[in-house]
Structure 1
Amino acid sequence: MTRPFGPEAGTAGVARGARLGVDVGKARIGLAASDPDGLVATPVETVPRVLGGEGRTADVARIAAEVDERLAAVVYVGLPRHLSGAEGAATQDARGFAARLAAAVAPVPVRVVDERMSTVAAHAQLRAAGRKTKSHRPVIDQAAAVIILQSALDVERAAGTRAGELVEAPTP
Protein backbone atom coordinates (compact mmCIF):
# COMPACT_ATOMS: atom_id res chain seq x y z
CA MET A 1 0.00 0.00 0.00
CA THR A 2 1.32 3.46 -0.83
CA ARG A 3 0.99 6.64 1.14
CA PRO A 4 -1.44 9.22 -0.28
CA PHE A 5 0.35 12.59 -0.20
CA GLY A 6 -1.68 14.53 -2.75
CA PRO A 7 -5.15 16.02 -2.30
CA GLU A 8 -6.72 13.63 -4.79
CA ALA A 9 -7.99 11.16 -2.19
CA GLY A 10 -9.29 13.48 0.51
CA THR A 11 -12.85 14.54 0.96
CA ALA A 12 -11.82 17.84 2.56
CA GLY A 13 -9.05 18.70 0.11
CA VAL A 14 -6.41 16.68 1.96
CA ALA A 15 -5.14 13.21 1.20
CA ARG A 16 -6.71 10.28 2.98
CA GLY A 17 -4.55 8.48 5.54
CA ALA A 18 -4.01 8.16 9.25
CA ARG A 19 -2.66 11.16 11.09
CA LEU A 20 -0.53 11.09 14.24
CA GLY A 21 -0.54 13.64 17.03
CA VAL A 22 2.49 14.11 19.27
CA ASP A 23 2.65 15.89 22.64
CA VAL A 24 6.33 16.45 23.47
CA GLY A 25 7.16 16.76 27.16
CA LYS A 26 10.38 16.77 29.13
CA ALA A 27 9.90 13.24 30.49
CA ARG A 28 7.25 11.66 28.25
CA ILE A 29 5.77 11.97 24.77
CA GLY A 30 2.07 11.37 24.21
CA LEU A 31 1.04 9.76 20.96
CA ALA A 32 -2.41 9.72 19.36
CA ALA A 33 -3.66 8.52 15.97
CA SER A 34 -6.66 9.03 13.75
CA ASP A 35 -8.55 6.74 11.45
CA PRO A 36 -7.62 6.96 7.73
CA ASP A 37 -10.47 9.42 7.09
CA GLY A 38 -9.24 11.79 9.81
CA LEU A 39 -12.48 11.80 11.75
CA VAL A 40 -11.53 10.81 15.29
CA ALA A 41 -8.31 10.99 17.32
CA THR A 42 -7.63 8.19 19.80
CA PRO A 43 -4.79 7.65 22.29
CA VAL A 44 -1.99 5.28 21.28
CA GLU A 45 0.76 5.24 23.89
CA THR A 46 3.15 7.21 26.06
CA VAL A 47 6.76 7.07 24.88
CA PRO A 48 9.63 7.77 27.32
CA ARG A 49 11.53 10.92 26.25
CA VAL A 50 15.24 10.72 25.49
CA LEU A 51 16.77 14.03 26.55
CA GLY A 52 20.00 15.36 25.12
CA GLY A 53 20.00 13.00 22.17
CA GLU A 54 20.60 13.94 18.59
CA GLY A 55 19.22 12.32 15.45
CA ARG A 56 17.24 9.09 15.66
CA THR A 57 16.98 8.47 19.39
CA ALA A 58 14.76 5.70 20.81
CA ASP A 59 11.78 8.06 21.18
CA VAL A 60 12.05 9.31 17.59
CA ALA A 61 12.52 5.73 16.36
CA ARG A 62 9.39 4.55 18.23
CA ILE A 63 7.24 7.30 16.70
CA ALA A 64 8.77 6.68 13.25
CA ALA A 65 7.82 3.01 13.59
CA GLU A 66 4.24 4.01 14.38
CA VAL A 67 4.21 6.30 11.31
CA ASP A 68 5.32 3.37 9.14
CA GLU A 69 2.95 0.87 10.75
CA ARG A 70 -0.09 3.11 10.26
CA LEU A 71 1.00 4.41 6.84
CA ALA A 72 0.49 7.88 8.28
CA ALA A 73 -0.13 10.73 5.85
CA VAL A 74 1.03 13.46 8.26
CA VAL A 75 2.34 13.92 11.81
CA TYR A 76 1.21 16.85 13.95
CA VAL A 77 3.51 17.92 16.78
CA GLY A 78 2.13 20.23 19.45
CA LEU A 79 3.86 23.59 19.79
CA PRO A 80 3.58 24.85 23.40
CA ARG A 81 3.41 28.63 23.13
CA HIS A 82 2.81 31.02 26.00
CA LEU A 83 -0.76 32.28 26.37
CA SER A 84 0.40 35.52 24.73
CA GLY A 85 1.50 33.52 21.69
CA ALA A 86 5.19 34.09 22.40
CA GLU A 87 7.62 31.22 22.08
CA GLY A 88 9.81 30.05 24.95
CA ALA A 89 12.23 27.24 25.82
CA ALA A 90 9.53 24.53 25.61
CA THR A 91 8.55 25.79 22.15
CA GLN A 92 12.14 25.59 20.94
CA ASP A 93 12.45 22.08 22.42
CA ALA A 94 9.31 20.96 20.56
CA ARG A 95 10.57 22.54 17.32
CA GLY A 96 13.90 20.72 17.68
CA PHE A 97 12.14 17.41 18.33
CA ALA A 98 9.82 17.99 15.36
CA ALA A 99 12.83 18.62 13.09
CA ARG A 100 14.51 15.37 14.21
CA LEU A 101 11.22 13.52 13.70
CA ALA A 102 10.80 15.07 10.24
CA ALA A 103 14.22 13.75 9.24
CA ALA A 104 13.31 10.28 10.52
CA VAL A 105 9.91 9.99 8.81
CA ALA A 106 10.57 11.80 5.50
CA PRO A 107 8.84 11.96 3.06
CA VAL A 108 5.88 11.96 5.49
CA PRO A 109 5.30 15.62 6.38
CA VAL A 110 5.61 16.79 9.98
CA ARG A 111 3.69 19.92 10.95
CA VAL A 112 3.69 21.90 14.20
CA VAL A 113 0.37 23.12 15.57
CA ASP A 114 -0.47 25.46 18.45
CA GLU A 115 -1.20 23.45 21.57
CA ARG A 116 -1.80 26.14 24.16
CA MET A 117 -3.81 24.72 27.06
CA SER A 118 -3.91 21.15 25.71
CA THR A 119 -2.56 19.63 28.94
CA VAL A 120 -4.94 21.71 31.05
CA ALA A 121 -7.84 20.58 28.85
CA ALA A 122 -6.65 16.98 29.07
CA HIS A 123 -6.62 17.13 32.89
CA ALA A 124 -10.13 18.59 32.84
CA GLN A 125 -11.41 15.85 30.54
CA LEU A 126 -9.88 13.11 32.68
CA ARG A 127 -11.42 14.62 35.84
CA ALA A 128 -14.79 14.86 34.08
CA ALA A 129 -14.48 11.17 33.17
CA GLY A 130 -14.10 10.36 36.87
CA ARG A 131 -10.35 9.70 36.91
CA LYS A 132 -8.53 10.74 40.05
CA THR A 133 -5.74 13.28 39.57
CA LYS A 134 -3.14 10.77 40.80
CA SER A 135 -4.05 8.42 37.97
CA HIS A 136 -3.56 11.09 35.28
CA ARG A 137 0.23 10.80 34.95
CA PRO A 138 0.35 7.60 32.86
CA VAL A 139 -2.24 8.88 30.36
CA ILE A 140 -2.13 12.70 30.49
CA ASP A 141 0.37 12.92 27.62
CA GLN A 142 -1.79 10.65 25.45
CA ALA A 143 -4.87 12.73 26.30
CA ALA A 144 -3.01 15.93 25.36
CA ALA A 145 -1.89 14.30 22.08
CA VAL A 146 -5.54 13.44 21.35
CA ILE A 147 -6.53 17.08 21.89
CA ILE A 148 -3.68 18.29 19.63
CA LEU A 149 -4.61 15.84 16.89
CA GLN A 150 -8.37 16.40 17.13
CA SER A 151 -7.81 20.17 16.83
CA ALA A 152 -5.71 19.60 13.70
CA LEU A 153 -8.38 17.29 12.25
CA ASP A 154 -11.03 19.94 12.90
CA VAL A 155 -8.90 22.53 11.05
CA GLU A 156 -8.45 20.11 8.13
CA ARG A 157 -12.21 19.66 7.83
CA ALA A 158 -12.98 23.37 8.16
CA ALA A 159 -10.23 24.72 5.91
CA GLY A 160 -9.71 21.83 3.51
CA THR A 161 -5.94 21.98 4.04
CA ARG A 162 -3.44 20.58 6.51
CA ALA A 163 -3.20 22.42 9.81
CA GLY A 164 -0.12 24.13 11.18
CA GLU A 165 3.31 24.93 9.88
CA LEU A 166 5.39 22.50 7.84
CA VAL A 167 8.65 21.43 9.51
CA GLU A 168 11.69 21.26 7.27
CA ALA A 169 13.88 18.25 8.01
CA PRO A 170 17.46 19.29 8.78
CA THR A 171 19.97 18.45 6.09
CA PRO A 172 22.95 16.32 7.15
Structure 2
Amino acid sequence: MRIMGLDYGSVTVGVAISDGLLLTAQGIEVIRRKQPDKLRQTLARIEQLAKEYEVEKIVLGYPKNMNNTIGERAEKSEEFAEMLRRRTGLEVVLWDERLTTVAAHQALIEGDMRREDRAKVVDKIAAIFILQGYLDYYNMNKAKEAGEGEV
Protein backbone atom coordinates (compact mmCIF):
# COMPACT_ATOMS: atom_id res chain seq x y z
CA MET A 1 0.00 0.00 0.00
CA ARG A 2 1.13 3.51 -0.80
CA ILE A 3 -0.39 6.89 -0.05
CA MET A 4 -0.23 9.94 -2.29
CA GLY A 5 0.10 13.45 -0.87
CA LEU A 6 -1.05 16.49 -2.84
CA ASP A 7 -0.49 20.21 -2.38
CA TYR A 8 -3.29 21.73 -4.49
CA GLY A 9 -2.70 25.28 -5.67
CA SER A 10 -4.35 27.63 -8.12
CA VAL A 11 -2.07 26.61 -11.03
CA THR A 12 0.06 23.78 -9.64
CA VAL A 13 -0.30 20.53 -7.73
CA GLY A 14 2.70 19.20 -5.82
CA VAL A 15 2.77 15.40 -5.67
CA ALA A 16 4.45 13.12 -3.12
CA ILE A 17 4.26 9.34 -2.64
CA SER A 18 4.90 7.26 0.46
CA ASP A 19 7.23 4.31 0.54
CA GLY A 20 5.63 0.86 0.75
CA LEU A 21 6.00 0.75 4.55
CA LEU A 22 4.21 4.10 4.96
CA LEU A 23 7.15 5.61 6.80
CA THR A 24 8.50 8.30 4.48
CA ALA A 25 7.26 10.66 1.79
CA GLN A 26 9.16 11.36 -1.43
CA GLY A 27 8.42 14.15 -3.88
CA ILE A 28 7.45 12.98 -7.35
CA GLU A 29 6.58 16.02 -9.46
CA VAL A 30 4.75 19.31 -9.82
CA ILE A 31 1.77 19.25 -12.16
CA ARG A 32 1.27 22.63 -13.83
CA ARG A 33 -1.77 23.89 -15.68
CA LYS A 34 -2.17 26.96 -17.85
CA GLN A 35 -5.57 27.97 -16.46
CA PRO A 36 -6.70 27.65 -12.83
CA ASP A 37 -10.09 26.07 -13.62
CA LYS A 38 -8.88 23.60 -16.24
CA LEU A 39 -8.48 20.44 -14.16
CA ARG A 40 -9.15 17.59 -16.60
CA GLN A 41 -5.48 16.99 -17.46
CA THR A 42 -4.43 17.49 -13.84
CA LEU A 43 -6.92 14.86 -12.67
CA ALA A 44 -5.84 12.50 -15.46
CA ARG A 45 -2.17 12.84 -14.42
CA ILE A 46 -3.00 12.21 -10.77
CA GLU A 47 -5.02 9.14 -11.75
CA GLN A 48 -2.11 7.90 -13.88
CA LEU A 49 0.37 8.37 -10.99
CA ALA A 50 -2.00 6.68 -8.55
CA LYS A 51 -2.14 3.59 -10.78
CA GLU A 52 1.60 3.62 -11.46
CA TYR A 53 2.48 3.75 -7.76
CA GLU A 54 -0.41 1.50 -6.65
CA VAL A 55 -1.84 4.19 -4.40
CA GLU A 56 -4.69 3.23 -2.09
CA LYS A 57 -5.36 6.62 -0.47
CA ILE A 58 -4.83 10.29 -1.27
CA VAL A 59 -4.00 12.92 1.35
CA LEU A 60 -4.92 16.38 0.10
CA GLY A 61 -3.62 19.50 1.79
CA TYR A 62 -6.45 21.46 3.43
CA PRO A 63 -5.52 25.14 3.73
CA LYS A 64 -7.51 26.26 6.75
CA ASN A 65 -7.14 29.81 7.96
CA MET A 66 -4.88 30.36 10.97
CA ASN A 67 -8.00 30.85 13.17
CA ASN A 68 -9.23 27.38 12.06
CA THR A 69 -11.98 28.73 9.78
CA ILE A 70 -12.62 27.59 6.23
CA GLY A 71 -11.87 30.13 3.51
CA GLU A 72 -12.09 30.18 -0.27
CA ARG A 73 -8.91 28.09 -0.81
CA ALA A 74 -10.17 25.40 1.58
CA GLU A 75 -13.53 25.32 -0.20
CA LYS A 76 -11.72 24.85 -3.52
CA SER A 77 -9.75 21.99 -1.92
CA GLU A 78 -13.01 20.37 -0.78
CA GLU A 79 -14.32 20.56 -4.36
CA PHE A 80 -11.05 19.15 -5.72
CA ALA A 81 -11.21 16.31 -3.16
CA GLU A 82 -14.66 15.36 -4.45
CA MET A 83 -13.36 15.42 -8.05
CA LEU A 84 -10.48 13.14 -7.01
CA ARG A 85 -12.87 10.69 -5.30
CA ARG A 86 -15.06 10.50 -8.39
CA ARG A 87 -12.12 10.21 -10.81
CA THR A 88 -9.98 7.69 -8.91
CA GLY A 89 -12.44 5.87 -6.65
CA LEU A 90 -9.91 6.28 -3.83
CA GLU A 91 -10.39 7.57 -0.31
CA VAL A 92 -9.32 11.22 -0.11
CA VAL A 93 -8.34 12.60 3.30
CA LEU A 94 -8.23 16.36 3.84
CA TRP A 95 -5.14 17.15 5.94
CA ASP A 96 -4.49 20.47 7.66
CA GLU A 97 -1.65 22.05 5.71
CA ARG A 98 -1.25 25.35 7.55
CA LEU A 99 2.29 26.66 7.15
CA THR A 100 3.55 23.77 5.00
CA THR A 101 4.37 26.08 2.09
CA VAL A 102 6.14 28.43 4.49
CA ALA A 103 8.12 25.47 5.89
CA ALA A 104 8.93 24.29 2.36
CA HIS A 105 10.24 27.74 1.39
CA GLN A 106 12.30 27.88 4.59
CA ALA A 107 13.83 24.45 3.95
CA LEU A 108 14.80 25.47 0.42
CA ILE A 109 16.26 28.77 1.62
CA GLU A 110 18.30 26.92 4.24
CA GLY A 111 19.46 24.61 1.46
CA ASP A 112 20.79 27.72 -0.28
CA MET A 113 18.56 27.25 -3.32
CA ARG A 114 18.10 30.23 -5.63
CA ARG A 115 14.70 31.93 -5.69
CA GLU A 116 14.02 30.95 -9.32
CA ASP A 117 14.79 27.30 -8.56
CA ARG A 118 12.70 27.32 -5.36
CA ALA A 119 9.62 28.37 -7.33
CA LYS A 120 9.92 25.24 -9.48
CA VAL A 121 9.90 22.75 -6.57
CA VAL A 122 8.24 24.40 -3.56
CA ASP A 123 4.87 22.72 -4.22
CA LYS A 124 6.50 19.30 -4.37
CA ILE A 125 8.27 19.97 -1.05
CA ALA A 126 4.98 21.17 0.47
CA ALA A 127 3.34 17.91 -0.71
CA ILE A 128 6.13 15.98 1.06
CA PHE A 129 5.47 17.90 4.29
CA ILE A 130 1.70 17.28 4.01
CA LEU A 131 2.15 13.57 3.40
CA GLN A 132 4.89 13.14 6.01
CA GLY A 133 2.68 14.81 8.63
CA TYR A 134 -0.12 12.39 7.80
CA LEU A 135 2.22 9.36 7.82
CA ASP A 136 3.63 10.33 11.23
CA TYR A 137 0.09 10.71 12.61
CA TYR A 138 -1.01 7.42 11.00
CA ASN A 139 1.95 5.47 12.39
CA MET A 140 1.65 7.00 15.85
CA ASN A 141 -2.01 5.95 16.05
CA LYS A 142 -1.23 2.51 14.65
CA ALA A 143 1.38 2.03 17.41
CA LYS A 144 -1.12 3.15 20.08
CA GLU A 145 -3.74 0.72 18.78
CA ALA A 146 -1.21 -2.11 18.87
CA GLY A 147 -0.48 -1.32 22.52
CA GLU A 148 3.15 -0.47 21.95
CA GLY A 149 3.38 1.76 25.02
CA GLU A 150 3.09 5.49 25.35
CA VAL A 151 3.62 7.43 22.18
Determine if the alignment matches structure 1 residue 117 to structure 2 residue 99.
yes
Match of 1:156 among 112, 134, 138: 138
Quote the residue 2:121 is aligned against.
Answer: 139
Name the TM-score, length of structure 2 as normaliser.
0.89
Determine if the alignment matches structure 1 residue 59 to structure 2 residue 45.
no
Higher normalized strand content (fraction of residues): 2
Hey, which bits of structure 1, 4+ residues long, moved more than 6 A? none
Tell me the number of residue pairs that the alignment of Structure 1 and Structure 2 aligns: 142
Stretches of structure 2 that go unaligned for 5 or more consecutive residues are 144-151
Higher normalized helix content (fraction of residues): 2
Paired AA for residue 47 in structure 2 = A
Deviation at 1:52, TM superposition (A): 2.5
Paired AA for residue 150 in structure 1 = Q
Stretches of structure 1 that go unaligned for 5 or more consecutive residues are 1-16, 162-172
Match of 2:21 among 37, 46, 53: 37
Name the TM-score, length of structure 1 as normaliser.
0.79
How far apart are the structure 2 equivalents of 1:83 and 1:94? 16
- Report sequence identity in percent: 28
Query: Match of 1:98, SS?
Result: helix
Paired AA for residue 149 in structure 1 = L
Query: Match of 1:131, SS?
Result: coil
Quote the residue 2:70 is aligned against.
Answer: 87
How far apart are the structure 2 equivalents of 1:96 and 1:51? 13
Query: Match of 1:37, SS?
Result: coil
Deviation at 1:135, TM superposition (A): 1.5
